């Protein structure tokens, strides 16, 4: 069965960076793009961008172009998202989600990021 297992909660200082992971299992990792979605506390959903794990091609929402960096490790079937120059606006839950024919059919459980001094 398809599973996306995300890394644990992060507490970071303003200005720091965090790198979170999304380990895929139950399917061929390189056959599907991986998307990332942000959800601020009590707020709606915002699409960050996606990576093609096979080619490494990335595409970002312009709102995240200087904030997020997406990478993937084919050997471990793991996708990563790094967030840099953190501010309180980056405090949120971040989800990875696989895209097949169905846009974002399977989702990870989310990684909570809290930015606080």
Partner 1 sequence: DIKMTQSPSSMYASLGERVTITCKASQDIKTYLSWYQQKPWKSPKTLIYYATSLADGVPSRFSGSGSGQDYSLTISSLESDDTATYYCLQHGESPYTFGGGTKLEIK
| Cα angle, residue 18 at apex, residues 115 and 53 outer, rounded to 5° | 140
Is residue 113 within 8 Å of residue 83, measured between CB atoms?
yes
Q: 37 or 115: whose CB is closer to partner 1?
A: 37
Q: Residue 53 gets which letter from DSSP?
A: T
9 binds partner 1 (CB under 8 A): no
| Length reported for the chain | 117
The correct pick among 46, 54, 58, 114 for binding partner 1 (CB under 8 A) is 46
Give me the residue label for tokens 């398809």: 2
Region binding partner 1 by CB under 8 A among candidate stretches 8-16, 19-27, 60-68, 82-90: 60-68
The correct pick among 110, 111, 113, 115 for binding partner 1 (CB under 8 A) is 110
Q: If you compute the radius of gyration of the chain from its CA atoms, what whole number of angstroms results? A: 13
β-pairing, 45-51 with 111-115?
unpaired
41 binds partner 1 (CB under 8 A): no
107 binds partner 1 (CB under 8 A): yes
Instruction: List contacts with partner 1 (CB under 8 A).
Output: 35, 37, 44-47, 59, 61-63, 95, 97, 101-105, 107-110
């Amino acid at each position: 069965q398809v599973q996306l297992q995300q890394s644990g909660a992060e507490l970071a200082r303003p200005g720091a960076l965090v790198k979170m992971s999304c380990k895929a299992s139950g399917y061929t990792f390189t056959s599907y793009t991986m998307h990332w979605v942000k959800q601020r506390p009590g707020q709606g959903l915002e699409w960050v961008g996606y990576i093609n794990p096979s080619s490494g091609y990335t595409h970002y929402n312009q709102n995240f172009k200087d904030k997020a960096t997406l990478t993937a490790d084919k050997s471990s079937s793991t996708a990563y998202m790094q967030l840099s120059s953190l501010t309180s606006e980056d405090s949120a839950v971040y989800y990875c989600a696989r895209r097949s024919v169905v846009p974002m059919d399977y989702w990870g459980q989310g990684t909570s990021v809290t930015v606080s001094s």
